[in-house]
Amino acid sequence: MNIGCGKLFHREWLNIDSHTNKADVLLYDVRKGLPFSEQSIDVCYSSHLLEHLTRKEGGQLLAEIYRVLRPGGILRLVVPDLQDIANVYLETVAECEKGGPHSDFNHEWMVFELYDQAVRAHAGGEMGKLLRRKSLPNEGFILSRVGPELENIRSQENKTEQPRRGFVTEKKTIYVNKNGKIFIGHFPGLACCWKRGIQSIQRRHLSQLR
């Protein structure tokens, strides 16, 4: 299971995100818990999600991951390296004091790295807005910080997709409403409540998403 997958996911995994229109991603707010039964998941992976939660929400999510993992299951978490960010931030402060080239822009970026990820209220936050600028005077510095993500964001600017209400398995479409309830049905207008939850669907159906 990939928790908070964003736009990077594998179709044969269970992928969850709170902001998505992808057919292969379950639209769900994991702050409400994980909609799976105990000891039903082999592997949980989450990249750059935990730092966007409050301390309480993060603890609750980790407890939920422990609940759904099978004995001997694997959890892999990826979070920012705070020590590296703090060190580079201090370097940009020193650059500003010396009046180095693009030092003010580099400092601005490091302030975003320190704060924006923790306080943003929407996907991408202020960092996303900055990365979408057509011209960045310190593009080389930002590339050294984010790598190919800069081009990935820019390439998405010209792409438009039709929003989808759920994702499709071999036989059924899975929906999660705003209250976190799971619904399964053949047509969006005729969705029926599946009381036992998403874990009742055979894994082979979930791994063959269209």
pLDDT tens-place string over residues 96-149: 999 988 999 999 999 988 888 777 766 677 787 888 888 889 989 998 888 877
pLDDT on residue 22: 87
Summarised one tens digit per residue, pLDDT across range 185-197 is 333 332 222 223 3
Looking at the fold, whether 34 and 73 belong to one and the same domain comes out as yes
Residues 184, 175 contacting (CB under 8 angstroms): yes
Closest CA to 144 of 111, 96, 118, 109: 109
Residue 94 — pLDDT band, cuts 50, 70, 90? very high
Checking if the pLDDT of 200 tops 50, the result is no
Summarised one tens digit per residue, pLDDT across range 27-86 is 999 999 999 999 999 999 999 899 888 889 999 999 999 999 999 999 999 988 889 999
Closest CA to 135 of 164, 105, 162, 113: 105
In a domain, 140, yes or no: yes
pLDDT on residue 172: 37
Looking at the fold, whether 10 and 106 belong to one and the same domain comes out as no
pTM score, two decimals? Answer: 0.61
Domain end position, chosen among 125, 153, 181: 153
Domain count, the chain: 2
pLDDT on residue 134: 80
In a domain, 159, yes or no: no
Residues 48, 24 contacting (CB under 8 angstroms): no
In a domain, 160, yes or no: no
What average pLDDT is seen over the chain? 75
Looking at the fold, whether 143 and 197 belong to one and the same domain comes out as no
Amino acid at 108: E
In a domain, 147, yes or no: yes
In a domain, 182, yes or no: yes
Looking at the fold, whether 74 and 18 belong to one and the same domain comes out as yes
Range of the domain at 14: 2-79+165-206
Looking at the fold, whether 16 and 117 belong to one and the same domain comes out as no
Q: Where are the beta strands (DSSP E) in 32-134?
A: 41-47, 69-78
Looking at the fold, whether 134 and 188 belong to one and the same domain comes out as no
d(CA 183, CA 192): 6
Angle formed at CA 43 by CA 39 and CA 49, multiple of 5 degrees: 110
In a domain, 50, yes or no: yes
Q: At 159, phi and psi to the nearest 5?
A: -100, 135
d(CA 93, CA 156): 32
In a domain, 62, yes or no: yes
Looking at the fold, whether 44 and 141 belong to one and the same domain comes out as no
d(CA 116, CA 52): 9
Looking at the fold, whether 8 and 73 belong to one and the same domain comes out as yes
